[in-house]
Amino acid sequence: MTRNLAGRKALRVQTPEGVIFNLRVAGVFTRFLALSIDLGVITAVSSLLSIVTALLAIVSIDFARALSVIAYFVLSIGYGIFTEWHWRGQSWGKRIMRLRVIDASGLKLQFSQIVIRNLLRPVDLLPFGYLLGGTISFWNRHGQRLGDLAANTTVIYIPESFALNTQQLEESKYNSFREFPHLEARLRQRVPPVEAALALDAILRRDELDPKARVELFGEFANYFRLLVPFEEHIDESITDEQFVRNVVTSLYRQKSTDMQERLFTSGR
């Protein structure tokens, strides 16, 4: 099963140019929440429609009732098709939950795919409450229900535009690790991205923590990093766990020398 850096289900696509990207597949629970929002929207719109059709009862009660029956049917069947086509794979629920339906090959979503994934919903609903579709989606490596399998689609999370705050790190004090470039190199090699980001986050939010929790958290981080890269005692014996973690994070994110920058940004351009 393909998983992303955080160990979650991911859709892996390799482009003809050799670029590989992993898109995080939406979980069953999040999809269920999006579906609940969509059902709420359908209920609200159908209530509005019934008010409008009720007004037509002045002309003909029979006609108003017929219109109400047909309008509810068109709304319940067509809502997903219309919104996902209009918003490129998103309904109201999916927009709120930051989800999007995409082609499982990474290509552009086609109308026929949207129609099939929405109209095959009845079989996913069996025997009740999406039990079949939910179970299949849970075990499927791309989180696909039966409708998604037939349409070759899947639902992914949309990552938010990120904001990397390294300002506070630059203001940090002297980093004793800079005197040991081989250890810094090992840190960059061995520290996984997720843990690096977690440590950065912990440093940036350290003032929000209780004193006791702060000591415990940075103690755990420091022990973890020491396991990944063993430091000689004299290097870190005189600094606290928090300073140790801070040094690690600064080493991971710090600015490199000018010649390295030039090599990076002039090559291949």
Partner 1 sequence: MILDLKHFLRVERPLWDELEGLLRRMEDDHATRLTLEETRRFHYLYDRTASDLLRLGTFAASPEMAGYLESLVARAYGEIHETRDARRRFRFFNWVRREFPRTFRRRIRAFGLAVALTVLGSIFGAGLLRLDPDAKDVLLPFAHLMGKPSERVAQEEQSRGRELTGVKATFAGELMTHNIRVSLMTLAMGMTYGVGTVVLLFYNGVILGAVSYDYIQDGQTRFLVGWLLPHGSVEIPSILIAGQAGFILAGALLGSRQRLSLRERLAAVRSDLVTLIGGFSLLLVWAGTVEAFFSQYHEPVLPYGVKIAFGLLELVGLFSYLTFSGRRDNEDGEGMS
**With respect to partner 1, which residue has the nearer C-beta, 88 or 213?**
88
CB of 205 to partner 1, least distance (A): 15
CB of 119 to partner 1, least distance (A): 6
Query: Please, how many CA atoms are within 13 Å of residue 173, restricted to the half-sphere of its CB?
Result: 6
CB of 183 to partner 1, least distance (A): 14
**With respect to partner 1, which residue has the nearer C-beta, 238 or 267?**
267
CB of 213 to partner 1, least distance (A): 24
CB of 192 to partner 1, least distance (A): 7
CB of 32 to partner 1, least distance (A): 20
CB of 28 to partner 1, least distance (A): 18
User: Do 189 and 151 form a contact (C-beta atoms < 8 A)?
Assistant: no
**With respect to partner 1, which residue has the nearer C-beta, 44 or 77?**
77
Which CB contacts under 8 angstroms, 24+ apart, belong to 172-178?
172/246, 172/250, 175/246, 175/247, 175/250, 175/251, 175/254, 176/235, 176/239, 176/247, 177/235, 177/247, 177/248, 177/250, 177/251, 178/251, 178/254
**With respect to partner 1, which residue has the nearer C-beta, 34 or 252?**
252
219 burial (CB, 10 Å; 0-12 / 13-18 / 19+) is: middle
**With respect to partner 1, which residue has the nearer C-beta, 52 or 77?**
77
Joined tokens for residue 170: 């630059």
The Cα–Cα gap between 84 and 241 comes to 50
**With respect to partner 1, which residue has the nearer C-beta, 211 or 268?**
268
- Closest C-alpha to 35, from 92, 120, 115: 92
**With respect to partner 1, which residue has the nearer C-beta, 59 or 233?**
59
Distances (CA, A) of 162 to 32, 53, 165: 26, 47, 10
Residues 233, 236, 237, 239: what is their CA dihedral angle, to the nearest 10 degrees? Answer: 180
